[in-house]
């Protein structure tokens, strides 16, 4: 979209109209001691032509590497129609739908999204999306504390098998509001939650247990047993899920005897490109009994006086709409454009298409692990079932191997040594339906050469 800045004459006329001598005068209530006198390290502004050229040069530096990185963001095929529709002016430039009578198209699309994501997760109600997967986990923890009236502890168990970025975001966001996040170890044989370590919390006042499925290692947890155990201990269950996997795996609403209580996750796999890290969007669904504790917007469907269908914002528990002290969240974005892309993506590929994406991704992951573990010095870290990610152990530093792979145009995975040093030299690798047998063979050959080269060094 073109950007046309105000001219100096425009600025002078606006200041004259409001009676202000300068732009600085509009901020005179800010003490001088708090004002930044300069922006060291920030270059001078560029013209539209110059910034366009700079961005093109930066884009070329990215290249087109063959990527086997997952770790919470996944490369899937996105039908060209998804963003052709998403970037139409009706969606691309539409503002937040405060006026229902002028926003029926946007409201209907949000309603359709809510219906789809509730169906996918097996839950009863969805909001209109959240900022991203990490903040969705934080919001779910805060929501669990609000909704769990019997618990007074503000304690939430977040196993080490939960995405470490999500754990950090949750601590940063909700830790400063009094919540205590307590970690439970995983079993070294299968990379799943250590039930014996979890048993130490039996009988304690805990607000919620977070269960990621598949977990960060790509392993499949025994969600039924974990959910039932948590409920027996009086805890709520927060499910963190990959939406693509739900085309094959049991939805959180069916976990255990009564299902999870809150379900969140990262919506990026549903038609949103990787885009060097964002923007993405988070999703949240829950049971109807907890709907008033859920942050964000909810769109409802009704009929007008003439019996025609109409859509409107119903529950709006954000600080934009009500007194800040009564708000359930102060994150004031629902990432509407990305949610729009996800809705169009799910509509285009349908349930059968999503199932095929999930099944082929799972198959490709198995083929990837089989090929890479044929390389001398490379072995799988865990046994048990997994989705489309796996942890590999190397007999040489993973960081050095990854650097060597990059010279061959391959992004070989996510180095786990920073978050899981106890694993030693370990890589988290991922394959989706976008990877071919040729891609996997190329990676295996490059990995073999890289391991040998790093060994020689």
pLDDT in tens, 81-95: 999 999 998 898 877
Residue 83 CA to residue 97 CA, distance in Å, equals 21
Tokens of 145: 């504390």
Confidence of residue 334 (pLDDT cuts 50, 70, 90): confident
Query: Burial level of 104, CB count in 10 A (0-12/13-18/19+)?
Result: middle
The whole-number pLDDT of residue 348 equals: 97
DSSP label at residue 285 = E
The whole-number pLDDT of residue 1 equals: 42
The whole-number pLDDT of residue 97 equals: 81
| CATH class belonging to 80-346 | alpha beta
Q: Strands, DSSP E only, in 272-316?
A: 282-286, 297-303, 309-316
Peptide bond into 214 cis (omega under 30): yes
Kindly report, residue by residue over 360-378, the tens digit of the pLDDT.
Answer: 999 999 999 999 999 999 9
Asked if 46 contacts 54 with a C-beta cutoff of 8 angstroms, the reply is yes
Confidence of residue 322 (pLDDT cuts 50, 70, 90): low
Residue 126 CA to residue 137 CA, distance in Å, equals 15
Percent of the chain surpassing pLDDT 90:
81
Tokens of 21: 């001598």
The whole-number pLDDT of residue 374 equals: 98
Kindly report, residue by residue over 22-42, the tens digit of the pLDDT.
Answer: 998 999 999 988 888 888 888
Residue 260 CA to residue 257 CA, distance in Å, equals 9
Closest CA to 336 of 279, 382, 380, 392: 279
The whole-number pLDDT of residue 106 equals: 92
Tell me the residue length of the chain: 457
Kindly report, residue by residue over 148-176, the tens digit of the pLDDT.
Answer: 999 999 999 999 999 999 999 999 999 98
The whole-number pLDDT of residue 99 equals: 81
Average pLDDT for 177-203: 97
The whole-number pLDDT of residue 40 equals: 86
Asked if 411 contacts 453 with a C-beta cutoff of 8 angstroms, the reply is no
The whole-number pLDDT of residue 35 equals: 86
Tokens of 214: 């598949």
391, β-bridge pairs: 428
Residue listed under structure tokens 């805890």: 235
Average pLDDT for 120-149: 96
Pick the CATH number of 66-74+351-456 from 3.40.50.2300, 3.90.1150.10, 3.40.30.10, 3.40.50.970: 3.90.1150.10
CA contacts within 13 A on the Cβ side of 434: 14
pLDDT tops 90 at residue 451: yes
Q: Return mean pLDDT, the chain.
A: 93
Average pLDDT for 316-334: 63
Q: For residues 203 and 93, which has the higher predicted lDDT (pLDDT)?
A: 203
Kindly report, residue by residue over 87-116, the tens digit of the pLDDT.
Answer: 998 898 877 787 888 899 999 999 999 999
Average pLDDT for 217-222: 98
Average pLDDT for 419-425: 97
266, β-bridge pairs: 282
The whole-number pLDDT of residue 6 equals: 86
Average pLDDT for 252-263: 98
Domain ranges of the chain: 66-74+351-456, 80-346
Q: For residues 64 and 351, which has the higher predicted lDDT (pLDDT)?
A: 351
Closest CA to 211 of 191, 237, 187, 242: 237
């Amino acid at each position: 979209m073109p950007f046309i800045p105000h001219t100096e004459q425009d600025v002078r006329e606006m200041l004259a109209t409001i009676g202000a001598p300068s732009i600085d005068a509009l901020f005179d209530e800010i003490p001088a001691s708090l004002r930044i006198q300069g922006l060291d390290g920030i270059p001078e502004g560029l013209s539209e032509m110059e910034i366009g050229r700079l961005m093109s040069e930066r884009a070329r530096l990215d290249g087109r590497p063959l990527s086997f990185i997952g770790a919470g963001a996944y490369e899937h095929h996105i039908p060209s129609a998804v963003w052709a529709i998403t970037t139409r002016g009706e969606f691309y430039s539409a503002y937040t739908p405060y006026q229902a009578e002028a926003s029926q198209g946007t409201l209907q699309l949000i309603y359709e999204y809510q219906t789809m994501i509730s169906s996918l997760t097996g839950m009863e109600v969805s909001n209109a999306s959240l900022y991203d997967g990490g903040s969705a986990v934080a919001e779910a923890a805060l929501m669990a504390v609000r909704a769990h009236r019997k618990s007074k502890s503000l304690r939430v168990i977040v196993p080490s098998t939960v995405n470490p970025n999500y754990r950090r975001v949750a601590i940063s966001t909700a830790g400063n509001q009094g919540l205590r996040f307590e970690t439970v170890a995983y079993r070294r044989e299968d990379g799943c939650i250590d039930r014996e370590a979890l048993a130490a919390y039996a009988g304690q006042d805990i607000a919620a247990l977070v269960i990621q499925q598949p977990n960060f290692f790509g392993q499949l947890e025994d969600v039924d047993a974990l959910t039932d155990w948590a409920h027996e201990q009086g805890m709520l269950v927060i499910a963190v899920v990959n939406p693509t996997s739900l085309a094959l795996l049991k939805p959180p609403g069916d976990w255990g005897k009564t299902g999870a209580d809150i379900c969140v996750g990262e919506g990026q796999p549903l038609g949103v490109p990787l885009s060097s890290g964002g923007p993405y969007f988070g999703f949240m669904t829950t049971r109807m009994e907890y709907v008033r504790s859920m942050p964000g917007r909810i769109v409802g469907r009704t009929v007008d006086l003439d019996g025609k269908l109409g859509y409107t914002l119903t529950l709006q528990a954000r600080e934009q709409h009500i007194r800040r002290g009564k708000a359930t969240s102060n994150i004031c974005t629902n990432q509407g454009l990305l949610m729009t892309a996800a809705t169009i993506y799910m509509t285009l590929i349908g349930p059968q298409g999503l199932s095929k994406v999930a099944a082929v991704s799972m198959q490709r992951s198995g083929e990837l692990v089989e090929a890479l573990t044929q390389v001398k010095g490379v072995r799988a870290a865990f046994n048990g079932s997994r989705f489309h990610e796996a942890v590999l152990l190397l007999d040489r530093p993973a960081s050095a191997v990854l650097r060597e792979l990059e010279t061959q145009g391959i992004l070989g995975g996510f180095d786990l040594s920073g978050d899981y040093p106890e694993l030693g030299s370990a890589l988290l690798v991922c394959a989706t339906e976008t990877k071919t047998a040729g891609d996997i063979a190329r990676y295996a050959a490059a990995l073999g050469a890289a391991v040998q080269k790093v060994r020689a060094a």
